[in-house]
Amino acid sequence: MQLVLLACLAAVAIAAPQPQDLPPVAILRDDRVDNGDGSFQYAFEADNGIAVEASGTPGSQGQSNIQGVFRFPLSDGSIAEVRYIADENGFQPESPLLPTPHPLPAHVEELLRIAERQRAEGITFE
């Protein structure tokens, strides 16, 4: 019985779709610097369009403050780029690819101005 089960598992594994052979990716650049004091830099680039660059310094609250950018190819042939800062305020990416909230309607902006003015005047509601 175990032999039959093993044979069935082997048949399923052989019949499973195999990933297509992908061409090897050449590494064009791989630079790394660790200054030993918590600051660092690195840059990586491959011939398929993937690239990463970052530099970091120790932060005032024990965190690493990092500024960097990463790039990768999109299916249409263009290159996507995301720039970021990561520090005591969290991860802050910037890219035209990132979704943005819809603008507020004019009446909501007016209500927010009224509420801010009322707070400044000391008006509160319970």
User: Amino acid identity of 104?
Assistant: L
Sign of CA dihedral 50, 65, 89, 62: positive
Q: Which of 32, 36, 56, 58 is nearest to 45 (CA)?
A: 32
Distance, in Å, from the CA atom of 67 to the CA atom of 41, rounded to the nearest integer, reads 10
- Tokens representing residue 73 in the block: 């190819």
pLDDT at 118: 93
> For position 125, what pLDDT does the model report?
81
How much is the pTM? 0.62
Mean pLDDT score, 61-71: 92
8 A C-beta contact, residue 40 and residue 65? no
Residues of the chain with pLDDT > 90: what percent?
A: 63
Q: Quick one: pLDDT band at residue 34, thresholds 50, 70, 90?
A: very high
Strand partners, 19: none
Q: What pLDDT shows up at residue 61?
A: 85
CA distance linking residue 19 with residue 66, whole number of Å: 36
